[in-house]
């Protein structure tokens, strides 16, 4: 029997790649006494299931949608400073075993920062544009707000981005955090050095939509350009030589990344290494060991590709 248990709680949880990724990390370090599995946990049962895991001697857990915020409400855990401010926890550590305290962390945003670094993007002092104002945007904005970056958050619903920007400015003391809608989207793209896309555009039912489709193209002065030509021209004008990061990893390339790469010379990255690094950071919290991010990446890539092979068969 495995004597060091780990897992991910979420609802639904069937698509989680964490078991494959974390198991690859354990195997690569020869930690064959560790197991990592996915568990479907409804929000209403979260407290009970976390306590049950603790009683069963689990070492650590990841939490995913819709449990990251919920766990704080239960009052069961001690969140660290960042996850408390973010209002979301994705990593639990049963540090003191069965009867000890349960500590909470948020490795999502640091995972995003490490993914940018891995891609060769130095974010120090850079102007960052964050598209979207949901949960993912919140922890990423908080992270870069704390790092002192100048931030603009834009969202379909402008008020939500404005509220988030105010919250980040207040929590971090960073006065260069602004929020708004999509009206001045092209100017915002032009102003930024690094662009981070955090909405669900490009995946699932929005597979054929990119944020560029939602920005106004203005008027065609010459009247002889197609909409696509106008869009490409604006993308080139606003994104040339910049870093464009879409946190979506399935599909591997969203329409947003595809359009950016086709029209301009950009450093483009998807969310796969963010997934890998948030998992690697959780792994380190639990075990004190640094896992091999490349081994984890290969496991994720293989799983995604075999899934898409099966789907196309």
- Give the residues lining the site for ligand ATR (CB under 6 A): 132-137, 155-157, 160, 198-201, 206, 214
Under a CB-based contact definition with an 8 Å cutoff, are residues 5 and 38 in contact?
no
> What are the structure tokens assigned to 166, written together?
């105010």
Q: How many helices (H) and strands (E) does the chain have?
A: 12, 12
Tell me whether residue 160 or residue 171 sits nearer to ligand ATR (CB atom).
160
Residue number, nearest CB to ligand ATR: 134
Return the HEC string of 84-142.
HHHCCCCEEECCCHHHCCCEEECCHHHHHHHHHHHCCCCCCCCEEEEECCCHHHHHHHH
CB of 206 to ligand ATR, least distance (A): 6
> Shortest gap between Cβ of 27 and ligand ATR (angstroms)?
30
Contact 197, 132 (CB under 8 A): yes
Angle of helix 293-312 relative to helix 18-28, nearest 10 degrees, comes to 140
Smallest gap from Cβ 17 to ligand ATR, in A, equals 16
Residue 225 appears among annotated catalytic residues: no
* Residue 132 Cβ vs ligand ATR, minimum distance, rounded to whole Å: 4
Q: Cβ 43 to ligand ATR, closest distance in Å? A: 14
Catalytic residue among 5, 68, 70, 85: 68
The residue (of 91 and 137) whose beta carbon lies closer to ligand ATR is 137
Cβ-based nearer residue to ligand ATR, 135 or 180: 135
Phi and psi at residue 163, to the nearest 5°: -65, -45
User: What is the number of alpha carbons within 13 Å of residue 123 lying toward its C-beta?
Assistant: 28
Alpha-carbon gap, residue 167 to 98, rounded angstroms: 37
Cβ proximity to ligand ATR: between 22 and 199 the closer is 199
In the complex with ligand ATR, which residue's Cβ is closer, 137 or 250? 137
Q: Which residues, at least 6 apart from 238, have a Cβ–Cβ distance to it below 8 Å?
A: 186, 189, 190
- Per the CB < 8 A criterion, the answer to whether 36 and 23 are in contact is yes
- Active-site positions read 68
């Amino acid at each position: 029997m495995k004597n060091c248990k780990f897992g991910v709680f979420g609802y639904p949880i069937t698509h989680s790649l964490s078991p494959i990724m974390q198991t690859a990390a354990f195997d690569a370090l020869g930690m064959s006494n560790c197991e990592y599995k996915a568990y479907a946990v409804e929000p209403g049962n979260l407290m009970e299931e976390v306590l049950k895991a603790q009683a069963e001697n689990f070492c650590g857990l990841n939490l995913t949608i819709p449990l990251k915020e919920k766990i704080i409400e239960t009052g069961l855990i001690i969140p660290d400073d960042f996850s408390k401010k973010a209002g979301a926890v994705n990593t639990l550590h049963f540090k003191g075993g069965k009867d000890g305290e349960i500590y909470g962390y948020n490795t999502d945003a640091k995972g995003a920062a490490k993914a940018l670094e891995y891609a060769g993007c130095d974010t120090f002092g850079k102007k960052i544009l964050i598209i979207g104002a949901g949960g993912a945007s919140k922890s990423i904005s908080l992270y870069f707000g704390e790092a002192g970056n100048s931030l603009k958050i834009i969202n379909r619903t402008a008020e939500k981005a404005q509220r988030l920007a105010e919250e980040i400015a207040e929590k971090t003391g960073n006065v260069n955090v602004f929020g708004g809608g999509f009206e001045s989207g092209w100017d915002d793209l032009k102003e930024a050095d690094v662009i981070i896309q955090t909405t669900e555009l490009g995946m699932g039912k929005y597979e054929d939509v990119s944020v560029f489709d939602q920005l106004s193209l203005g008027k065609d002065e010459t009247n002889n350009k197609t909409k696509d030509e106008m869009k490409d021209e604006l993308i080139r004008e606003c994104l040339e030589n910049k870093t464009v990061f879409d946190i979506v990893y399935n599909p591997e390339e969203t329409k947003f990344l595809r359009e950016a790469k086709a029209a301009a010379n950009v450093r483009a990255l998807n969310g796969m290494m963010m997934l890998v690094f948030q998992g690697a950071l959780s792994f380190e919290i639990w075990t004190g060991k640094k896992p091999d991010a490349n081994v984890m990446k290969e496991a994720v890539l293989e799983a995604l590709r075999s899934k898409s092979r099966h789907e196309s068969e």
